Amino acid sequence: MFSEEDRKNLRKIFEMVYHGEPQKLHSRDFHPFLNPHLSVRTYPKGSILVRTGDPATTTYLIVRGRCHLTRASGDGAAIVVDDLKPPIFQGIAPALNGLGIHMSNVVADRECLVLLFQTSYLLQGLEADGTCAMDVIRDLALATGRLRSRMDAATTASSEESLLLYIYRQYFVHGAPEGDFYLVDNKNKMAAAVGVSLRTLYRSIERLEADHRVRLAYRGLMVPEAEMKRIVAHFSSNGVPGSLEK
């Protein structure tokens, strides 16, 4: 699938983007390198490049412009968790860590020029060319360090409340059953719905477990009946509609 010509083209692209003047590049500059696994697109200001839950089968190299990452808070509001200054990749981490979906929205603050790689094709290219791989490693190291520090600060205080709000809404989605409430849900999907990383989700569950508010169960969570009543009373008193599906 990945030929020697592909490797040379990838090297040229990386030289243009990482070692040239990316802010001066245009779509036409990449036309000689396009193929069924690589395309180029210009996104206008305000458009969404990536949505939470999108499959990580596409990886985005933001060449020029300006973007930011957002995640949904427990009440559904968008929280800005990081600024993206091109050139920068978006989407390699979900492919590498096995999650398989994008965990954030990416919104264009300015017009953005973006290369869209089929993820499997790009990974083959990075394996074939160590110079390109090093550019990506440096990219990921900077982005991961910056994002982790900001995400930890942004989510620590609200992650448990967001999880409880998600439980509250799912309780009504499932018909407000009597007795202990068993929420059967994939943890990756649950983390995406709550708007936190999988690591933060498990941390929140551990803290709630320590307070005997929830219990980790097979394929999901168990909320004792008494605690479920407290959760319903808490969010109902704050005017959150129970029938609102997350």
CATH code assigned at 35: 2.60.120.10
Q: Give the pairing of strands 181-184 and 220-223.
A: antiparallel
Task: Look at the chain and report how many structural domains it folds into.
Answer: 2
pLDDT tens for each residue of the chain, 246 residues long: 678 999 999 999 999 998 889 999 999 999 999 999 999 999 999 999 998 889 889 999 999 999 888 776 555 556 666 677 889 888 877 777 767 888 788 999 999 999 999 999 998 998 888 888 888 888 777 766 666 665 555 555 478 888 888 899 899 988 999 999 999 888 888 888 888 888 888 888 988 998 899 998 888 899 999 999 999 988 887 666 554 433
- Predicted pLDDT at 130: 85
- Predicted pLDDT at 244: 40
For residue 215, give the CATH number of its domain: 1.10.10.10
- Predicted pLDDT at 246: 37
Q: Are 80 and 68 in contact (CB under 8 A)?
A: yes
Residue (of 222, 209, 235, 227) closest to 181 by Cα position: 222
Q: Are 161 and 213 in contact (CB under 8 A)?
A: no
- Are residues 194 and 136 part of one domain? no
Last residue of a domain, one of 155, 183, 211: 155
- Are residues 176 and 63 part of one domain? no
- DSSP helix/strand/coil, 34: coil
Q: Are 103 and 52 in contact (CB under 8 A)?
A: yes
- Predicted pLDDT at 219: 83
Residue (of 154, 151, 173, 178) closest to 246 by Cα position: 173
Last residue of a domain, one of 155, 177, 202: 155
φ/ψ (deg, to 5) at 27: -55, -40
What range defines the domain where residue 228 resides? 159-237
- Predicted pLDDT at 24: 92
- Are residues 131 and 47 part of one domain? yes
- Report if residue 244 sits inside a domain: no
Sign of the C-alpha dihedral, residues 19, 23, 24, 26?
A: positive
Q: How far apart are CA 169 and CA 159, in angstroms?
A: 15
- Are residues 211 and 139 part of one domain? no
Say what the pTM is.
0.58
- Predicted pLDDT at 146: 62
